[in-house]
Structure 1
Amino acid sequence: MHQYPELGFMEYYTTYVIGEELKKLGFTVYCGKEALKSDARYGVPPESERAENEKRAKAMGVPEDWMTAMHGGHTGIVAVYDTERSGDHLAFRFDIDALPIEEAEQDKHVPFKESFISKNKGVMHACAHDGHTSIGIGLAQFIAQHQNTLNGKFTLLFQPAEEGGRGARAMTEKGWLTGVDAFYSGHIGIQSLPVGTIAATTKGFLASSKLNVHFKGQSSHSGMKPEAGRNALLAAATAATQLHSISRHSEGVSRINVGKLIAGNGRNIISDRGYLELETRGETQNINEYMQMEARRILEAAAAMHHVDVEIDFVGETEELRCDELLIPSITNACQTSDLIQNVEPYALVSGSEDASFMMNEVQKQGGKATYMLFGTHLPDNHHSPHFDFEEEVLAVALDAYIHIVKGGNEIA
């Protein structure tokens, strides 16, 4: 999976590989508009990008029937196995997308040294989603192998476009979490912990909003007619610096980041365009809404200052989430018999954001339980870094945790 990373809503090859494997295991597999609600997707890439990636997927051997189902960025898989015996409905979520990062080509980076570096230039699995996908397929294999001794129903959600908070809402609104008794998701790493250590819950995930901003001005000759120009580059630059000056909120953690700025035409041209990609985060929905409101105010003020127009596109979000602490004892007890799990922490502190929040909140709203776990590994570099990697032994640990959670509700020798 690491060699073939794909960006959100363009995981065509990834979806196909997952889906074919799950079909062989006897799962009922849903893809395309069957798996997610089309108009609930955030930040769908433009048609030109989708077409380029669809062409690449076809060249990699993805059959036409799969491409037809996924056309237009309808990627991701929902796989269901119903034993038709009385028992809990358990749901597990695994994210499958990669990041727009050029992977490091240095011997200290294990994927390069061992020759399984990304084959898709400029795209990299720099957040362990390739590992999550592999864990999900492993869990599916376990369920298939023990189908005769399992009870209840299992739903595995292989979700597209987690990065940027764009994909979970589309699967949630399709109704896959209806009637789920317990929901589990998790992440490799985040904290650098020993392999064999897991956390049953997490605390600190932030609500977030993702914005794309277009400043539109008027180009002109910078020497002969500068007064005729309206400088969108300066508007974008002003906004980028001033956004980071937003006062923080007294009621909790807040964040803002401008992660991308593109502007300008040439040194002797007043720029007629500027583009920003930014995000806000808050410990609660209210704090995040405050940060977003202030960000919009500054963006509009920067446009007014430089006499340009501004368009603000809302392209992604996550909600605040709270793990059910009632699951800590059951997870801890279930994992006691694991030969791979050495330590179960009740919780781990984090400070990112997760669109699995949509799924968790939907389950909890209906009276079910939900948690987001961590699986320990040494991290040679940060998440979202060209040198990101993890110890592959964590794959077996994370899979064993999920297996023991399933076994905890079933009588399996």
Structure 2
Amino acid sequence: MTSIWEQAQALREEMTARRRNLHQHPETGWTEFRTASMVIEELRQLGYEVSFGAEVVDEASMMGVPPAAELEQYMARAVSEGADPELVKQMAGGKTGVVAVLRSGKPGKTVAFRFDMDCNDVEEERGAGHRPAQEGFASCHTKAMHACGHDGHVTIGLAAAKLIAANREQLAGTVKLIFQPAEEGVRGAYAMVNAGVVDDVDYLFGGHIGFKATADNALITMTDGFLATTKLDAVFKGVSAHAGAAPEQGKNALLAAAQSAISLNTISRHSQGSSRINVGVLNAGTGRNVVPDIASLKLETRGATTEINNFMVSEARRILEACAAMYDVQLQVTMAGAAPACLADKELGHEVAELAKAKCGYEQVLEYVDMGGSEDCGYFMERVQQRGGQALYMMYGTQIAAGHHNSHFDFHEDCMWKAAATLTEIAVHFTNK
């Protein structure tokens, strides 16, 4: 009988073609209408029970959603690029999440895998040294690029779905595949978690191409050290006035925002672990001779734990409110994204490492790497762990052409079939526990 590793290797050309198709048609967070449509159609053909749209995305929990008119444009674009119009219609409002379930008919555990689908707001390199440009699969959309490997993640997820279905007789319990929108900016997982998509899950696995795994034919089974984070947008509204003739009639929103940008960095560090704050964007004013009546900040906090991050958020809000009061302007603060800390189950990481060594053909299997940064897969992991399950975040080894979120980003596509094989072995092993 052909091994799962060999079955996956036979999908190499199919997976490469799919990844390149996705790479050429990137879609940013909450606009993944074409990608989700492709995912739904493939999963249905494989015999999965497929739920999507409002069934798996809680509208009240969606963060950082584009305006309705913009979403309509992206829906039309998706249809023009081959998406099923009826499926796209059912995902209106940006509800592009997809969940697929395969039931073995035998008692066993429920094992879930999460795959993110969105791209970055990056203009892709068009020069001769960039392989996607050279070989004709660079992004056809301006200021949108799969510069983080999510095109590979979707491809891995669909290949794993095919392999799991082909090896259904080896399964017990249930396999659940979660295709998540809007990971960039940590916006999408929260809405799917609040829709209850992992409430029945015993084991949850997330994963990523590259980052700390930059050697080909390698697997890291446990990634730890992700920081909890909150993304905030602060808008200050004052009163405009003639800066020369009547400055006393104005209320200066620009100064309130500038004061905030400086004062936010006075928040003390936390004794219990790493903490971060950063103001990444400040926009203000309308003219040289006008007291500015409008200003906005885009900022983020991070913490080694959710509690530390919550401390940073509380202090940030306090300072924003104080600065608004100082200049007598109005303040509106909205949450544009968030993620808790990702805390992996160490014994699960060890078990997956032993499984990979026994069943897969990697040259190197490592059990641990400390990551830093943030990942909203933490919401899925946290919910599963709160309900008595276990969770893990892995990394699939590949050389990369440039850093993640860089316009020159690319990766070695052989990592994809190996990842799909690994996830299939995990599905077989853990549904039977």
TM-score over 0.5 for the pair: yes
> Are 1:22 and 2:43 an aligned pair?
yes
Deviation (angstroms), 1:113: 2.7
2:249 to 228, 240, 249: 228
Matches within 5 A, 1:63-212: 63-212=84-233
2:337 to 301, 307, 316: 316
CA distance in 1, matches of 2:403, 2:320: 30
Call closer, same or farther: CA 1:4–1:261 in 2, change over 3 Å.
farther
Check conservation: 1:149, 1:410, Cα contact below 8 A.
no
Check conservation: 1:334, 1:407, Cα contact below 8 A.
no
Matches within 5 A, 1:249-288: 249-288=270-309
Deviation (angstroms), 1:213: 0.9
CA distance in 2, matches of 1:40, 1:289: 18
Give the corresponding residue for 2:381: 360
Stretch deviating more after TM superposition (32-41 or 59-68): 59-68
Check conservation: 2:226, 2:375, Cα contact below 8 A.
yes
Give the corresponding residue for 2:327: 306
Stretch deviating more after TM superposition (294-303 or 199-208): 294-303
Stretch deviating more after TM superposition (331-340 or 197-206): 331-340
Q: Residue 111 of structure 2: SS of its match in structure 1?
A: strand
CA distance in 2, matches of 1:258, 1:138: 40
Deviation (angstroms), 1:179: 2.7
Deviation (angstroms), 1:193: 2.5
Q: Residue 323 of structure 2: SS of its match in structure 1?
A: helix
Deviations 1:292-333 (A, max 9, x none): 112112222322333321110122211122111111332122
Deviation (angstroms), 1:123: 1.5
Give the corresponding residue for 1:331: 352
CA distance in 1, matches of 2:164, 2:376: 26
Q: Which amino acid aligns with 2:294?
A: R
2:56 to 35, 38, 46: 35
CA distance in 2, matches of 1:236, 1:165: 24
Q: Which amino acid aligns with 2:181?
A: P
Give the corresponding residue for 2:33: 12
Give the corresponding residue for 2:10: none
CA distance in 1, matches of 2:134, 2:361: 27
Q: Residue 327 of structure 1: SS of its match in structure 2?
A: helix
Check conservation: 1:25, 1:144, Cα contact below 8 A.
yes
Give the corresponding residue for 1:62: 83
Call closer, same or farther: CA 1:305–1:104 in 2, change over 3 Å.
farther
Give the corresponding residue for 2:310: 289
Check conservation: 2:203, 2:430, Cα contact below 8 A.
no
Check conservation: 1:127, 1:383, Cα contact below 8 A.
yes
> Are 1:401 and 2:422 an aligned pair?
yes
Give the corresponding residue for 1:373: 394
Give the corresponding residue for 1:52: 73
Deviation (angstroms), 1:136: 0.3
Q: Residue 157 of structure 1: SS of its match in structure 2?
A: strand
Q: Residue 36 of structure 1: SS of its match in structure 2?
A: coil
> Are 1:382 and 2:415 an aligned pair?
no
TM-score, reference length from structure 1: 0.94
Check conservation: 1:210, 1:317, Cα contact below 8 A.
yes
Structure 1 runs (4+) deviating above 4 angstroms are none
Deviation (angstroms), 1:395: 1.4
Call closer, same or farther: CA 1:261–1:379 in 2, change over 3 Å.
farther
CA distance in 2, matches of 1:265, 1:3: 38
Check conservation: 1:11, 1:160, Cα contact below 8 A.
yes
Check conservation: 2:114, 2:205, Cα contact below 8 A.
yes
Check conservation: 1:194, 1:378, Cα contact below 8 A.
yes
Q: Residue 23 of structure 2: SS of its match in structure 1?
A: coil
Check conservation: 2:56, 2:196, Cα contact below 8 A.
no
Deviations 1:46-80 (A, max 9, x none): 21221221222232232332122101111111011
Q: Residue 377 of structure 1: SS of its match in structure 2?
A: coil
Deviation (angstroms), 1:85: 1.6
Call closer, same or farther: CA 1:328–1:62 in 2, change over 3 Å.
closer
Q: Residue 63 of structure 2: SS of its match in structure 1?
A: coil
Structure 1 gap ranges (5+): none
Give the corresponding residue for 2:17: none
CA distance in 2, matches of 1:171, 1:44: 14
Deviation (angstroms), 1:232: 1.9
Stretch deviating more after TM superposition (214-223 or 291-300): 214-223
Stretch deviating more after TM superposition (324-333 or 108-117): 108-117
Which of the two has greater helix per residue? 2
CA distance in 2, matches of 1:229, 1:261: 20
Deviation (angstroms), 1:410: 7.4
Deviation (angstroms), 1:126: 1.8
CA distance in 2, matches of 1:391, 1:101: 20
Deviations 1:207-265 (A, max 9, x none): 11111111112223334333333222232233223323322111101111222222222
Deviations 1:176-211 (A, max 9, x none): 223322111111122152112211112211111111
Q: Residue 258 of structure 1: SS of its match in structure 2?
A: strand
Total equivalences in the alignment = 411
Deviation (angstroms), 1:339: 5.2
Deviation (angstroms), 1:19: 0.7
Check conservation: 2:213, 2:219, Cα contact below 8 A.
no
Stretch deviating more after TM superposition (152-161 or 217-226): 217-226
Stretch deviating more after TM superposition (130-139 or 120-129): 120-129
